[in-house]
């Protein structure tokens, strides 16, 4: 009886120790310096909770960079800022990068294309439409954005020569329903806005691949969780309006974070 009891204790103990070691190794595999660059989709706008010292950058403790750092045991430098364009990232956020940086995430390009302004134009009451704004955004994404992204990605690689760089994309925002009465965006306009999101995704992915960077594409993860879906992972028209059309806390934690962590730990 004593020998059998000892074996019953020993086996779970060995398994527990083994699992503990696996957990430690996983954390160590992803440990290091991690810098999160980018715009409001990286800073966590939409979560409604922000660090007091982040000011207008609206960095949130519920943003995926914070959650990914916690899950991977990395030391985070969080410089993403609401409203940032590619030039803002280049001029104001790259100072934290160095040869010691191991991981970089970056989301940029949506503000350059004026995507927020396009949505605002689409939300105007009838008889206004936003076809011109959508076409202008598509033209910019096709003709101008690639060069801006190349400049940014070159700068990131120059400052962090050995880092794993993960470019983070944007989801489709709409599901075709008109549930926000104060923001009348027709189903046809929503379809075209989602096509613009697709164009933005493929453009960013292509430039990331050209520089040897990883790409996180959240479009599939957010399918079924767009504005008007149940549950929504993206806010519809909100108060304050700055929270509108951005991932909420669940969108950050269940949508973005697993994708980013997967890239950081492979």
**pLDDT tens per residue across span 151-163:** 999 999 999 999 9
Alpha helix segments (H runs only) across the chain: 2-29, 40-43, 64-72, 86-92, 115-122, 131-143, 145-159, 187-210, 249-250, 257-264
Q: Which of 4, 40, 98, 253 is catalytic?
A: 40
pLDDT over 90 percentage in the chain: 82
pLDDT band at 45 (very low <50, low <70, confident <90, very high): very high
What six digits make up the tokens of 34? 């991690």
Q: In the prediction, which pLDDT does 163 show?
A: 98
Mean pLDDT score, 174-203 = 91
User: Is 211 an annotated catalytic residue?
Assistant: no
Encode pLDDT of 170-183 as tens digits. Answer: 999 999 888 877 77
Distances (CA, A) of 260 to 71, 125, 137, 203: 10, 38, 27, 19
How would you list the strands of the sheet with 101-107, edge to edge?
75-78, 33-38, 101-107, 164-168, 214-216
Contact (CB, 8 A) for 94 and 37: yes
Mean pLDDT score, 50-71 = 98
Whether 235 has a pLDDT exceeding 90, the answer reads yes
pLDDT band at 213 (very low <50, low <70, confident <90, very high): very high
The answer regarding whether domain 32-264 maps to CATH 1.20.1250.20 reads: no
Q: Which of 4, 43, 246, 253 is catalytic?
A: 246
Q: In the prediction, which pLDDT does 30 show?
A: 66
185: which residues sit within 8 A by CB, 6+ positions away?
119, 122, 123, 174, 178, 193
Encode pLDDT of 3-31 as tens digits. Answer: 333 333 343 333 333 333 333 333 335 67
pTM listed for this prediction: 0.87
User: Is 246 an annotated catalytic residue?
Assistant: yes
Contact (CB, 8 A) for 58 and 126: no
Give buried/exposed letters for 62-93 (b at 16+ CB in 10 A, else e). Answer: bbbbbbbbebbbbebbbbbbbebbbebbbeeb
The Cα 265–Cα 185 span in angstroms is 39
Domain boundaries along the sequence of the chain: 1-30, 32-264
Contact (CB, 8 A) for 123 and 184: yes
> Going by DSSP bridges, is the β-strand pair 33-38/101-107 parallel, antiparallel, or unpaired?
parallel
User: Rounded mean pLDDT of the chain?
Assistant: 89
Contact (CB, 8 A) for 74 and 33: yes
Mean pLDDT score, 222-246 = 95
- Residue 33 Cα to chain centre, angstroms: 19
DSSP state of 255: I
């Amino acid at each position: 009886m004593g020998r059998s009891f000892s074996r019953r204790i020993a086996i779970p103990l060995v398994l527990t120790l083994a699992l503990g070691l696996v957990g430690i190794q996983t954390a160590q595999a992803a440990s290091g310096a991690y810098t999160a660059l980018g715009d409001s989709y990286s800073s966590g706008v939409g979560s409604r909770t922000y660090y007091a010292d982040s000011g207008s950058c609206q960095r949130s403790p519920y943003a995926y960079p914070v959650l990914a750092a916690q899950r991977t045991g990395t030391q985070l430098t969080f410089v993403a800022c609401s409203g940032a364009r590619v030039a803002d990232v280049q001029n104001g956020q790259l100072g934290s990068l160095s040869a010691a940086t191991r991981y970089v995430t970056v989301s940029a390009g949506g503000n350059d294309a004026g995507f927020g302004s396009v949505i605002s134009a689409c939300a105007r009451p009838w008889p206004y439409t936003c076809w011109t704004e959508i076409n202008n955004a598509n033209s910019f994404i096709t003709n101008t954005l690639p060069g801006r992204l190349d400049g940014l990605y070159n700068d990131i690689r120059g400052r962090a020569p050995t880092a794993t760089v993960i470019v983070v994309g944007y989801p489709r925002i709409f599901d075709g329903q008109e549930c926000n009465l104060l923001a009348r965006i027709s189903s046809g306009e929503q379809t075209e806005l989602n096509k613009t999101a697709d164009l933005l995704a493929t453009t960013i992915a292509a430039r990331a691949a050209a520089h040897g960077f990883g790409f996180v594409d959240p479009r599939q993860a957010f399918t079924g969780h767009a504005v008007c879906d149940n549950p929504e992972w993206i806010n519809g028209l909100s108060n304050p309006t700055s929270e509108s059309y951005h991932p909420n806390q669940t969108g950050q934690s269940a949508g973005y974070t697993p994708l980013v962590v997967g890239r950081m730990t492979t």
